[in-house]
Structure 1
Amino acid sequence: MASPRQRSAEKLFVVYDGECNFCIATVARLKELPSRADLQFVQIQQLEQQGMLGVPGIQQVSEQQLYEKMHVADSNGVLYAGAEGVVRVLRTVKGLSVLSLLYQLPGMSRIADAIYRIIASRRYEWFGRTEQSCSVNGCEWKPPRQNNNHPEGGR
């Protein structure tokens, strides 16, 4: 049985490129860090195979947009993309949440967005690409079962 703290943890879906070495390494590191949220890591390639099911709100994002930026979705379907998505995840990671405050300083969001765009556009060139998109247990993720009798989508 889950403790009250586990039940109350927010759930965030982190949609990333499972062929990007930098993205895979970042996800592997995030999995090691303590988070106040239930972080679900979902590869874009998994979404393509499963028909975009299971991640709230992701259906409104085109395939091209998914590959341009990492997307983070909360359980209400609110989406955060690029640097804003990184900051959304950082807010939940113990010890790194203070970094998310920098994004709120005047001009910092524009700088962070520009840096994110540069890295994202050159990620394969700088960090390489793998054809094994399940290399960090990403293929273990299964979309939640849809159950219309329960508001939370399950038991």
Structure 2
Amino acid sequence: MGSRRKQAEEERREKLIVLYDGTCNLCLASVRRLKELQSTAILRFIPVQSLEDTYETIPELSAVTEEQLLTKMHVVEMDGTVHAGAAGVVRILRTVRGLRWLAPLYRVPGLRGAADFMYRFIAGRRYEWFGKADEGCHDGACALPKKD
């Protein structure tokens, strides 16, 4: 009986798909940290570079190029709502115990613009400041080199 209850609770939990740059060291570290936090939602993290391999269909992003996806993190809700950049971070914060109090600050006049600017500023320099992971590395695992 406990198993059914747990399954029912899982089905009711909100589900978010988080698309991120799998070669960005800052992005990889951020995803690792987010996985450690207690979220009320089920967060599914997918590197943009692996999106085709997951067989995930996200119709709301069909018109978005991979290059556009790599400019900022995208969070997709099950109803199709897409949050990108700082708005995506805020959307995740709304689900994290102990941090959800930060989310309403994004609605304060002037803070949304400042948060969006800071996100773009850091995202535009992320490789320069934090480096770039091997293209074959995603979720902390790297592909082995092919043998000749």
Q: TM-score normalized by structure 2?
A: 0.85
Of 16, 22, 26 in structure 2, the residue corresponding to residue 22 of structure 1 is 26
Give the alignment of 1:79-98 within 5 angstroms: 79-98=82-101
Paired residues in the alignment total 138
> Could you say what the CA RMSD is over the residues aligned between the two structures, in angstroms?
2.0
Query: Which ranges of structure 1 fall in alignment gaps of 5 or more residues?
Result: 140-155
Structure 1 residue 77: Cα displacement: 1.5
What is aligned with 1:100? 103
Distance, in Å, in 2 between the alignment partners of 1:28 and 1:137 is 12
Structure 1 residue 138: Cα displacement: 10
Of 114, 117, 131 in structure 2, the residue corresponding to residue 111 of structure 1 is 114
Q: Please identify the structure whose Cα radius of gyration is greater.
A: 2
Q: Deviations for 1:52-92, whole angstroms, at most 9, x for unmatched residues?
A: x3335222322121011100001121110000000000100
- Secondary structure of the 1:99 match is helix
Query: Which ranges of structure 2 fall in alignment gaps of 5 or more residues?
Result: 144-148
Structure 1 residue 128: Cα displacement: 0.4
Distance, in Å, in 2 between the alignment partners of 1:13 and 1:56 is 13
Distance, in Å, in 1 between the alignment partners of 2:102 and 2:84 is 17
Indicate whether 1:41 and 2:45 are aligned: yes
Q: Is the 8 A contact 1:71 1:80 kept in 2?
A: yes
Distance, in Å, in 2 between the alignment partners of 1:50 and 1:39 is 15
Q: Percent identity?
A: 47
Q: TM-score normalized by structure 1?
A: 0.82
What is aligned with 1:148? none
Q: Deviations for 1:95-127, whole angstroms, at most 9, x for unmatched residues?
A: 110111110111111000000000000000000
Q: Is the 8 A contact 1:41 1:138 kept in 2?
A: no
User: Which structure's residues are more often helix, by fraction?
Assistant: 2
